[in-house]
Chain A
Amino acid sequence: MNVLFGSPALHALVLGVGIVSALLGVTSYFIWFERKFAGRMQSRIGPKHVGPYGLLQPIADAFKLLIKADITPDTADRALFNLAPLLAVCVALLSLAVLPLASGLVIADLDVGVLFFLAAGALTVVPTWMAGWGSNNKYALLGGMRAIAQSVAYGVPLVLAALVPVILSGSMKLSDIVAAQAGGHWFALWPPGPGLGAGVLFVLASLAEGNRIPFDIPEAESELVSGISTEYTGMKFGMFYLGEYVHSLVVAALFVTLFLGGYDGPGPDVLALQLLWFVLKVSLVSVLLLWVRWSYVRLRSDQLMTLCWKYLLPSGLLLVAASAVWVWWTEQGGSR
């Protein structure tokens, strides 16, 4: 494995601390951006009072969350209630470990990288369940159960969508998947069909797994107050909020890595330029996701399940078969 600093352990530690800190900073400004963006889409201005253009708003918000009263309900399951927000953030950050930000700039370039982030995604049900059950509140519990049903359902198309780049590149290592797309051969563009289809499927399924609008029925505020975070106050609520935003940024980054060539872009292969391309692509995809989020209304619970099982799952199977045929066909062409 390529390491930048001495031993693999030191490499993972330095990069891990660096990337996580950077991401947490980016996330708070991503929230500021989303509020501005949503404001503009609804003919409002968005945050503007704290600092120029409201730029100090994230800091004010974080401070407010920190000094708010920390309430644990009397009848809550204390251990689960307090552990859940912490685990939610940790699980959301897990996928970062295998993301290549630039050539060699990856915390741990695992051979089974794709499997790793799928497994990390599957773990989100645990903190959700801990919060939903531990709050001892019927809205929280209903929200938790909805979230779990949703992640189980959408985990299946997510795996199928992630399988398409694996088949096309012949590797589960994310750096190999990026290398296979080098020189503009991004899987979203080529082969026409399976790549783009799988990309769309991947985004839909991961948004649903992370409970973002239009798939946010677990905390549908008109029905469930605010789902699993109903009983949470102060920073513990803040951590759920943070976890959700980290998840949506990670989804954008994974989409870029799997389907948009990762850090591949025109220009010489220098680290800074690769990083720039990566950040640029992730930002564009994130804005696109925000656009979707603020344009569509929430689906109903049964519509969500219909969409998953009747449409996304069969199309996922078709896409996997199509990409396998494509690989077989190109290999035949190559040997002839």
Chain B
Amino acid sequence: MSALEILGLSLLALFVLAGALGTVLSKNLVHSVLWLALALVATAGIYVRLTAGFLAGAQVLLYAGGVITLAIFAVMLSARIEGGPIPNESAKRGRGALVALAVAGLFGGVLLQADVLAPRDLPVVDAADIGRSFLGEYVLPFEVLSVLLVAAMIGAIVIARREDP
């Protein structure tokens, strides 16, 4: 990797880190949502650096577009709609830190075992190949996932529905 590439990746990593920290540490719920958006878009940038263009596009479309929009609606519909910042107190910090440490340990361990720092040419992941594997080899898990999503959606509607008077 050239110095420029390392610089680019470090910058992206910095953005992901800043976004993630902002999401948890911000005292304002609206700011938390926007920090999360930064973290998600910067993650897409890392995917681009890893020559996974399709994954990057899907990440921005679904996470930065879809999930952030849902988060915005959740914030707006659950809180008072106007008048100052919405407070955002972190609860159960100890347990949260424990989970974070465990995840960091897991990923760190995997990364140390894998030979990731060795220079190599990354294969370009073709969107057509992803499509073929979804509708060919992995068609059953793919369809099962779709059924799961539909079930979750129906479940949400049933829970949110008010009984007719």
Given known A111-B127, A130-B34, contact A122–B60 (CB-CB < 8 A): yes
Residues of B within 8 A of A75 (CB): 84
Report whether A126 and B34 are in contact in the complex, using a CB–CB cutoff of 8 Å.
yes
Answer whether residue A283 sits at the interface, using C-beta atoms and an 8 A cutoff. no
**Quick one: which of B31, B61, B81 has the most chain A CB within 10 A?**
B61
> By the criterion CB–CB under 8 Å, are B30 and A141 in contact?
no
B105 contacts chain A at the CB level, 8 A cutoff: no
Write out the residue numbers on chain A whose beta carbons fall within 8 Å of the beta carbon of B66: 122, 152
By beta carbon, the residue of chain A nearest B59 is A119
A80 part of interface (Cβ distance < 8 Å): yes
Over the window 52-77 of chain B, the binary record of Cβ atoms lying under 8 Å from chain A Cβ atoms (1 yes, 0 no) is: 01101110110011101100110010
Closest to B85 in A: A77
Contact between A123 and B60, CB atoms less than 8 A apart: yes
Within the complex, what minimum Cβ distance (angstroms) separates A97 from chain B? 12
At the interface, is chain A mostly helix, strand, loop or mixed? helix
**Given A112-B53, A126-B37, A119:B60 Cβ within 8 A:** yes
Among B2-54, those with CB < 8 Å from A are: 30-31, 34, 37, 41, 44, 53-54
Known: A80-B34, A112-B57, A130-B34. A148 touches B126 (CB 8 A): no
Q: Which residue on chain A has the smallest CB distance to residue B52?
A: A112
Q: Specify which of A111, A130, A133, A152 is in contact with B53 (CB 8 Å cutoff).
A: A111
A121 to B34, CA, bound (A): 17
Q: What is the distance, in angstroms, from B86's C-beta to the closest C-beta of chain A?
A: 10
With an 8 A cutoff between CB atoms, is A138 at the interface? yes
Beta-carbon contact of A148 and B72 below 8 Å: yes
Interface residues on A, range: 20 to 34
Q: Does B82 contact A (CB under 8 A)?
A: yes
Q: Smallest CB-CB separation from A138: which chain B residue?
A: B82
A141-B37 in contact given A112-B53, A112-B127, A115-B54 (Cβ < 8 Å): no
Interface residues of B in 72-119 (CB under 8 A from A): 72-73, 76, 81-82, 84-85
Q: Are A125 and B126 in contact (CB under 8 A)?
A: no
Give Cα distance in the complex from A169 to B82, angstroms: 48
Asked if A241 is at the interface of the complex by the 8 Å CB criterion, the answer is no
Does A240 interact with chain B (Cβ within 8 Å)?
Answer: no
| Cβ–Cβ contact B73 & A148, under 8 A | yes
CA distance A145 to B41 in the complex (A): 22
Does A103 have its Cβ within 8 Å of any Cβ on chain B? Answer: no
State the Cβ distance, B157 to closest chain A Cβ, in Å.
Answer: 15
Residues on B with beta carbons closer than 8 Å to the beta carbon of A115 = 53-54, 57-58, 61, 127
A129 is an interface residue with CB less than 8 A from chain B = yes
Residues of A within 8 A of B84 (CB): 75, 136
Alpha-carbon gap, A126 to B127, bound state (A): 27
Q: Which of B61, B65, B126 contacts A111 (CB 8 A)?
A: B126
How far, in Å, is A310 (CB) from chain B's closest CB?
18
Q: For residue A136, which residues in chain B have a CB less than 8 angstroms away from its CB?
A: 82, 84
Asked whether, in the complex, the Cβ of B72 is within 8 Å of the Cβ of A125, the reply is yes
B92 to chain A, nearest CB (A): 27
Contacting pair A123 B64 (CB below 8 A): yes
A110 in the interface (beta carbon within 8 A): yes
A116 in the interface (beta carbon within 8 A): yes
Would you give the shortest CB distance from A304 to chain B, in whole angstroms?
A: 17
A119 partner, pick from B61, B126, B127, beta carbons under 8 A: B61
Which residues of A are in contact with B by a Cβ distance under 8 Å?
A: 75, 77, 80, 110-112, 115-116, 118-123, 125-126, 129-130, 133, 136, 138, 141, 145, 148, 151-152, 155, 172
Enumerate the 6 nearest inter-chain pairs by beta-carbon distance, A residue then B residue, closest first. Answer: A122-B65, A115-B57, A119-B60, A119-B61, A112-B53, A112-B57
Known: A111-B124, A141-B82. 13 other contacts (CB 8 A): A80-B31, A112-B54, A115-B127, A119-B64, A120-B60, A123-B60, A123-B64, A123-B65, A126-B37, A129-B72, A136-B82, A148-B73, A155-B65
In the assembled complex, 23 residue pairs joining A and B whose CB atoms fall closer than 8 Å, in A order, are A77-B30, A80-B34, A111-B53, A111-B127, A112-B127, A115-B57, A115-B61, A116-B57, A119-B44, A119-B60, A119-B61, A119-B64, A122-B61, A122-B65, A123-B41, A123-B64, A126-B37, A138-B81, A141-B81, A141-B82, A148-B69, A155-B65, A172-B127
